[in-house]
Structure 1
Amino acid sequence: MDDETVGIALVLTSAVGFGTLGIFGVIAAEEGLSIPSVLALRFSLATVVVWAVRWYRDRFRVPSGRVLAIAVALGAIGYATQSGLYFFGLEFMTAGMVAIVLYTYPAFVVCLVAIANPDRVTRILLVALGLSISGVALITGVDPAGADPRGVVVVLGAAFAYSLYIVVSQRALATVDAETLTAFVLPAAAASFVAFGLGTNTLAMPDGAIGWGVVFAIAILATVVPVLTFFAGIARIGASRASIISTAEPAVTVALGALVLGEPVTVVTIGGGALVVAGVILIQREDA
């Protein structure tokens, strides 16, 4: 296969991997695992694997003090907040609905860009923003199945946190590659959840094969594999095309939620999700 085909396949693999996160999150909750426990183990295990891969490739480098500090802050505050709110949202809504609402984060990025650089906001970006907002409003107001208003607020908070993470990351990536940044974001996020779990007395190891199995699935299949395949895909087809292809992620979560967890999928859910994804695609094409 040529580089373009391989790149598309890698990004689709990444989308599928990230799309499983909500499914495994629901199963972890059913196994009685607390959010701090799951996420502390997720980021700790992912750190070990990512560092091992980078050591094997002879790419293990420590960035400068300023970039390292930014990476730690991104992990301990930005990524930890986004992940914590994402998993908290699963307590109120279906995995598919959480994935759709989270995918409004590019719209939040547009809002942040508008505040910092109003001249960069075009009519197309405003249309894209309207599509994303309309999609969430549609599935929240018309389709109450799985769309608890509390969950929508929580996951919108996750989307906003993720947009801040992306904006700050883009500045850091001017001086360090994405894989190196991720290698230091992951352990910082792990440390944040370890500290939170110890402080709230909610940190505990999984009990039984299913519990450990779902934790390893979250760490490897829903974190390490999609992160590495996404970076590899970007190297072959570029960031803009990769971002557009990755919009398959919420569709994967919705489909797996219906097949694995028996979550309801209505015409309104599909329509709202389509509006959100259309907004994301417009944003990515405008940025290309």
Structure 2
Amino acid sequence: MNENATASGQHTIPRPALVAGLAIAIGGAVLFSTKAVVAKLLYRYHIDAVTLIAFRMLFSFPFFLAIAVWKMCTEAPLPVIDRWRILGLGLIGYYLSSFLDFLGLQYISVGLERLILFLTPTFVLLITSLFLKRHISRIEWAALAASYCGIILVFVHDLQGGAGNAVIGSLLVLGSAISYALYLLFCGELVKRIGTLRLVSYAMCVSSVACIAQFFLLRPASMLVQPMPVYWLSLVNGIFCTIFPVFMTMYAVRRIGAATASQAGMVGPVSTLFLGALILGEPITAVQLAGTGMVLSGIYMLSMKK
């Protein structure tokens, strides 16, 4: 979840502040990427995506609710139209995106999942080109080509490695990345008026309610009774893979600027690849490293373009 919508012009930053901001941005990217590994561990206890995301939101919802209530008590009420927009953003950007992501993780490796999600900036670029008639420069086309070639490499590797439902899983995660790209496009103007902290807390409350309501509509309440490791892993998922990275990334953007913070976030897919090998035993091959390098080079070219 990259909260980079509060970009502002970046002036000279003192070196200690820059180092601290980079460390926070990298930490946030690693924590957010770790949710894929945590999800894989949770699936070992035979829970499904509906239950997994409900537990995630049950543990994180109180924190976002507290911030939302604080903002409602200290700031002017929002116009009705903005309330409807936040409702839509919460459903598209966090509920739908997270649900499709966790569904896809049932079928593909965490390395491939993270690479597909990392294509979100390229989807933003393509959507603005198709629907907003924005011109795509040569360097942007080169960045797109490098990124998608890297994804194809890792995808073919997963198919040959015996990932039986790699196509289904990849399409689900692809839908997750596209829905989050739409969220980023739609929230741009709104975040300038109401602020990042307010928008994130309100949208996350909407998403939490939707995920929890979905669980009680589709699953019996008895599914809330799980082995103790499920509760501990869900707590990690809700606190360390949701709340911390959201606010760490937001703080880093404010401290060092969105462009620098987004470049630091490129460590995310690399960390997931190695965490998947370390914790889940997923092998790291030369093809995966080559594909990861191509995706990172493409995103780096996009982030460097003025």
* TM-score normalized with structure 2 length: 0.87
C-alpha displacement of 1:55: 6.9
Mapped to 1, the partners of 2:261 and 2:65 lie a distance apart of: 24
C-alpha displacement of 1:244: 1.0
Match for residue 115 of structure 1?
A: 130
Q: How far does the alpha carbon of each residue in 1:2-41 deviate from its partner, in whole angstroms, 9 at most, with x for none?
A: 2111111110110111121001101111122332222123
What SS does the corresponding residue of 1:173 show, helix, strand or coil?
helix
Match for residue 267 of structure 1?
A: 286
* Superposition RMSD in Å: 2.2
C-alpha displacement of 1:91: 0.9
Mapped to 2, the partners of 1:107 and 1:131 lie a distance apart of: 11
Question: Do 2:157 and 2:288's aligned partners in 1 also have CA atoms closer than 8 Å?
Answer: no
Aligned match for 1:126, one of 124, 129, 141: 141
Match for residue 248 of structure 1?
A: 267
Does the C-alpha gap of structure 1 residues 2 and 86 become closer, same or farther in structure 2, counting only changes over 3 Å?
Answer: same
Mapped to 2, the partners of 1:33 and 1:190 lie a distance apart of: 18
Task: Report the AA paired with residue 179 of structure 1.
Answer: L
What SS does the corresponding residue of 1:136 show, helix, strand or coil?
helix
Does the C-alpha gap of structure 1 residues 239 and 60 become closer, same or farther in structure 2, counting only changes over 3 Å?
Answer: farther
Mapped to 2, the partners of 1:192 and 1:100 lie a distance apart of: 27
Does the C-alpha gap of structure 1 residues 83 and 7 become closer, same or farther in structure 2, counting only changes over 3 Å?
Answer: same
Match for residue 21 of structure 1?
A: 35
What SS does the corresponding residue of 1:33 show, helix, strand or coil?
coil
Task: Report the AA paired with residue 140 of structure 2.
Answer: L
Mapped to 1, the partners of 2:66 and 2:26 lie a distance apart of: 24
C-alpha displacement of 1:78: 3.1
Mapped to 1, the partners of 2:167 and 2:110 lie a distance apart of: 15
Alignment partner of 1:212 is 2:227: no
Alignment partner of 1:199 is 2:217: yes
Q: How does 1:1-288 map to 2 (within 5 A)?
A: 2-52=16-66, 61=75, 63-144=78-159, 145=161, 148-201=166-219, 204-286=223-305, 288=306
The number of equivalent residue pairs is 287
Task: Report the AA paired with residue 293 of structure 2.
Answer: A
Mapped to 1, the partners of 2:233 and 2:91 lie a distance apart of: 23
Question: Do 1:40 and 1:189's aligned partners in 2 also have CA atoms closer than 8 Å?
Answer: no
Pick which of 64-73 and 272-281 moved more: 64-73
Task: Report the AA paired with residue 170 of structure 2.
Answer: V
What SS does the corresponding residue of 1:263 show, helix, strand or coil?
coil
Question: Do 2:277 and 2:283's aligned partners in 1 also have CA atoms closer than 8 Å?
Answer: yes
C-alpha displacement of 1:43: 2.5
Mapped to 2, the partners of 1:99 and 1:186 lie a distance apart of: 21
Task: Report the AA paired with residue 75 of structure 1.
Answer: G
Unaligned runs of 5+ in 2: 1-14
Identity %: 24
Question: Do 2:117 and 2:174's aligned partners in 1 also have CA atoms closer than 8 Å?
Answer: yes
C-alpha displacement of 1:174: 2.3
Task: Report the AA paired with residue 41 of structure 2.
Answer: I
* TM-score normalized with structure 1 length: 0.92
Q: How far does the alpha carbon of each residue in 1:187-211 deviate from its partner, in whole angstroms, 9 at most, with x for none?
A: 2112222232233226632513211
